[in-house]
């Protein structure tokens, strides 16, 4: 309630989105909502720069970068899988996800951030020729920008969605909590840059079996739908870059915000 009250009484809200991604929403929140909102994203483009490892020194590269470089040399497309740091996943569900990735036969890099998430016995040994499991911190933006990465199995947290879109990588959506279900629906039905994983009962919160995950992963990575998704998300990635450049929608919105707040501040000082 304190957060809601504080938001209601604030001068405005900064939103991590951009006009070209969702024009109807941007028009609504900027003109109809109170307090007023300004869409100034994608914020991930404002702070990120690609890392350069001097002279290609393998000792400087994290092992996941070296692994991705190897897949690129082999011309093997990689699915990046990560579900954030807050998700609670049952052992049964985790095992189905692991088996689905294994049976899909696609190359994958899976980041697991919770020590208690155990994988089936012998799993990493069985998939070692085309899959790698990472338990340490990674630079997600760098992974998504790697040329070998062609898909993102994601919980559809908003930051992950924005990072995937700006990297031009289609999404395999598996929402777990909070607003992720709405984000996943938007990704598939509105923006059309991804597909949601099939659940066993067809519900948005249903259990995901290996067959459903395998089917969706293969469609995004190798199917006709995946090709169309890739074309669309790459178009959006270019639009996102333009939005944050001088004269772009987000840049212009930010300039407008600065002018309005400075004018309001000057007026208050005079009065």
Q: What is the pLDDT of residues 122-169, one digit of tens each?
A: 999 999 999 999 998 899 999 999 999 999 999 999 999 999 999 999
Place 201 in a pLDDT band, splitting at 50, 70 and 90. Answer: confident
DSSP-based helix, strand, coil % in the chain, nearest 5: 50, 15, 35
Q: What is the pLDDT of residues 66-76, one digit of tens each?
A: 999 999 999 99
Place 92 in a pLDDT band, splitting at 50, 70 and 90. Answer: very high
Mean pLDDT of 86-106: 91
Considering the entire predicted model, what is its pTM? Answer: 0.90
pLDDT, position 93: 92
Q: What is the pLDDT of residues 115-131, one digit of tens each?
A: 667 888 999 999 999 99
- Domains in the chain: ranges and CATH: 46-239 (3.40.50.2000)
Side-chain-side CA neighbours of residue 147 (13 Å): 8
Backbone angles phi, psi at 15, to 5 degrees: -115, 135
Place 96 in a pLDDT band, splitting at 50, 70 and 90. Answer: very high
Please tell me whether residue 82 adopts helix, strand or coil conformation. Answer: strand
pLDDT, position 270: 47
Phi-psi domain of 47 (left: phi exceeds 0; alpha: psi -120 through 50; beta: other) = alpha
pLDDT, position 174: 95
Give the number of other CB atoms < 10 A from CB of residue 62.
17
pLDDT at residue 249 is higher than 80: yes
Mean pLDDT of 221-235: 97
Give the number of other CB atoms < 10 A from CB of residue 162.
21
pLDDT, position 160: 96
Nearest to 234 by CA among 149, 153, 175: 149
Nearest to 89 by CA among 28, 177, 4: 177
| Peptide bond just before 35 cis, omega within 30 deg | yes
Share of the chain above pLDDT 70, in %: 92
Q: DSSP letters of 34-72?
A: SSEEEE---THHHH------GGG-TTTS-HHHHHHHHHH
Average confidence score pLDDT of the chain = 90
pLDDT, position 46: 80
Least confident of 4-13, 41-50, 71-80, 119-128: 41-50
How far apart, in Å, are the Cα atoms of 86 and each of 63, 114, 137, 203, 253? Answer: 24, 9, 14, 22, 32
């Amino acid at each position: 309630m304190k957060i809601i009250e504080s938001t209601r009484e604030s001068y405005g809200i900064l939103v991590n989105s951009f006009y070209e991604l969702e024009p109807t929403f941007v028009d609504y929140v900027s003109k109809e909502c109170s307090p007023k909102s300004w869409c100034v994203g994608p914020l991930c483009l404002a702070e990120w720069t690609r890392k350069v490892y001097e002279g290609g020194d393998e000792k400087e590269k994290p092992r996941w970068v070296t692994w991705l470089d190897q897949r690129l040399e082999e011309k093997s497309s990689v699915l990046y899988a990560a579900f954030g740091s807050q998700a609670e996943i049952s052992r049964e569900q985790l095992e189905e996800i692991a088996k689905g990735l294994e049976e899909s036969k696609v190359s994958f890099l899976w980041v697991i951030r919770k020590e208690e998430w155990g994988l089936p016995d012998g799993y990493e040994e069985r998939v070692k020729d085309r899959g790698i499991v990472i338990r340490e911190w990674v630079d997600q933006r760098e992974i998504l920008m790697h040329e070998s990465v062609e898909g993102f199995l994601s919980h559809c947290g908003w930051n992950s969605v924005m990072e995937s879109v700006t990297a031009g990588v289609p999404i395999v959506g598996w929402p777990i909590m909070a607003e992720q279900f709405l984000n996943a629906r938007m990704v598939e039905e509105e923006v059309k840059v991804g597909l949601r994983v099939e659940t066993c009962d067809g519900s948005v919160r249903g259990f995901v079996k290996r067959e459903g995950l395998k089917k969706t992963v293969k469609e995004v990575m190798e199917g006709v739908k995946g090709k169309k998704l890739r074309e669309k998300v790459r178009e959006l990635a270019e639009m996102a870059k333009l939005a944050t450049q001088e004269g772009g929608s987000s840049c212009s919105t930010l300039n407008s915000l600065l002018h309005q707040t400075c004018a309001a501040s000057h007026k208050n000082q005079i009065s």
